[in-house]
């Protein structure tokens, strides 16, 4: 009997490890337990003090960031969060935790681009990171059921996918400078588009969150849904900041935008999120990856299907400047 129990325990542990590797079940158990909560997300400010994103001050938000990686032009930090959601939610968050990641990147040190495979073949952030020798990659455009990107894509000065007229958000590069925010920025910033993607929805301009973000859900937009979120924004000093759901750190749109606003972001848009969210970051300890769901195993279309994306935003360190030295006479 003892041998049988040990065998069953070993099988259970092996199955749990496999499920975590494929489906990120630690994070998704938290997500399932809190997704129906009507309570606001709470951010740990210090010690055992927790505040909602609306209550927290910019100084408190800065203090809440726990630095995980720093190099010239790039800082990766984590914010500890939780959400009141009954006993199951409390236990899941206590056991597995919940966090939001903040990646801040300087355009002075890095270049930004649309990254995709030929023909928009669906792939992963980790593949893009390795193939294109990127420092950071995150899902960009939404996709249709066949995996094709929705919304325009620009790469190396050419439009490679057509626009989706109704969508309000975008990332673009003009004159070597990256921008994130509403489409209206396209007309306000002079120059030709060099790189870019069209996304949805834009949430902020001039440090003001758009009013529709807080409206009641309708057939066109539901910002109240608690899900995996990804936001790209521009800080006042020109730095680009990504606010990203980490393990268990599911949010609604207003919570995501409020965290961004407290980080001094001026213009911002959401990127593709939910089960599709994945991002990869290069560090001195090797690449670090987050996937909200299954990107590893191909299943039939349905609840467990593989989540691959056609377009990513890629970030690569600028090539070193080569200075010609005149030959000695």
Q: What is the pLDDT of residues 49-101, one digit of tens each?
A: 999 999 999 999 999 999 999 999 999 999 999 999 999 999 999 999 999 99
d(CA 224, CA 235): 25
The answer to whether the beta carbons of residues 313 and 138 sit under 8 Å apart is yes
2 is a domain residue: no
Q: Is the pLDDT of residue 220 over 80?
A: no
Residue 165's pLDDT band, with cuts at 50, 70 and 90, is: confident
88 is a domain residue: yes
pTM above 0.85, yes or no: yes
Q: What is the pLDDT of residue 251?
A: 98
Total tally of structural domains belonging to the chain? 1
Structure token digits, residue 187 = 């007309």
291 is a domain residue: yes
DSSP reduced 3-state for 27: helix
Q: Is the pLDDT of residue 8 over 90?
A: no
Which residues, in sequence order, are CB contacts of 49 under 8 Å at separation 6+? none
Q: What is the pLDDT of residue 19?
A: 84
Tokens 């939001």 -> residue: 100
Pick the more confident residue, 160 or 215: 160
Q: Is the pLDDT of residue 324 over 60?
A: no
Q: Is the pLDDT of residue 289 over 70?
A: yes
7 is a domain residue: no
Q: Mean pLDDT across the chain, nearest whole number? A: 94
Q: What percent of the chain lies above the pLDDT cut of 90?
A: 82
Residue 327's pLDDT band, with cuts at 50, 70 and 90, is: low
Q: What is the pLDDT of residue 325?
A: 59
Phi/psi at 18 (nearest 5 deg)? -65, -40
Q: Show the domain range for 78.
A: 12-317
Mean pLDDT calculated for residue range 181-204: 96
Residue 321's pLDDT band, with cuts at 50, 70 and 90, is: low
d(CA 314, CA 316): 7
Mean pLDDT calculated for residue range 163-180: 94
For the beta carbon of residue 155, count every other beta carbon within 10 angstroms: 18
Q: What is the pLDDT of residue 101?
A: 98
The answer to whether the beta carbons of residues 153 and 311 sit under 8 Å apart is yes
């Amino acid at each position: 009997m003892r041998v049988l129990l040990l065998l069953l325990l070993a099988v259970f542990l092996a199955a749990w490890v496999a499920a975590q590797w494929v489906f990120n079940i630690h994070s998704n158990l938290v997500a399932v337990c809190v997704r129906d909560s009507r309570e606001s997300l709470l951010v740990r400010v210090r010690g055992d003090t927790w505040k909602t994103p609306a209550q927290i001050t910019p100084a408190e938000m800065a203090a809440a960031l726990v630095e995980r990686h720093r190099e010239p032009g790039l800082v990766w930090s984590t914010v500890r969060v939780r959400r009141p959601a009954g006993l199951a939610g409390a236990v899941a968050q206590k056991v597995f935790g919940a966090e939001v990641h903040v990646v801040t990147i300087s355009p002075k040190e890095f270049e930004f681009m649309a990254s995709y495979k030929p023909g928009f073949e669906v792939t992963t952030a980790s593949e893009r990171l390795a193939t294109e020798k990127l420092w950071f990659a995150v899902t960009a455009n939404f996709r249709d059921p066949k995996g094709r990107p929705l919304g325009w894509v620009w790469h190396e000065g050419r439009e490679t996918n057509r626009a989706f007229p109704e969508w309000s958000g975008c990332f673009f590069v003009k004159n070597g400078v990256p921008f994130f925010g509403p489409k209206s920025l396209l007309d306000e910033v002079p120059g030709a588009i060099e790189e870019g993607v069209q996304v949805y929805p834009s949430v902020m301009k001039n440090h003001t969150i758009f009013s529709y973000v807080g409206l009641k859900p309708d057939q066109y937009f539901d910002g109240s849904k608690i899900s995996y979120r990804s936001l790209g924004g521009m800080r006042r000093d020109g730095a680009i900041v990504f606010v990203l759901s980490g393990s268990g750190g599911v949010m609604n749109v207003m919570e995501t935008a409020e965290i961004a606003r407290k980080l001094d972001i001026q213009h911002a848009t959401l990127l593709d999120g939910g089960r599709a969210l994945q991002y990869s970051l290069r560090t001195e300890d090797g690449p670090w990856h987050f996937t909200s769901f299954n990107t590893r195993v191909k299943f039939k279309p349905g609840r467990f299907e593989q989540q691959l994306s056609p377009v990513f935003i890629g970030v690569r360190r600028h090539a070193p400047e080569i200075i010609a030295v005149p030959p000695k006479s």
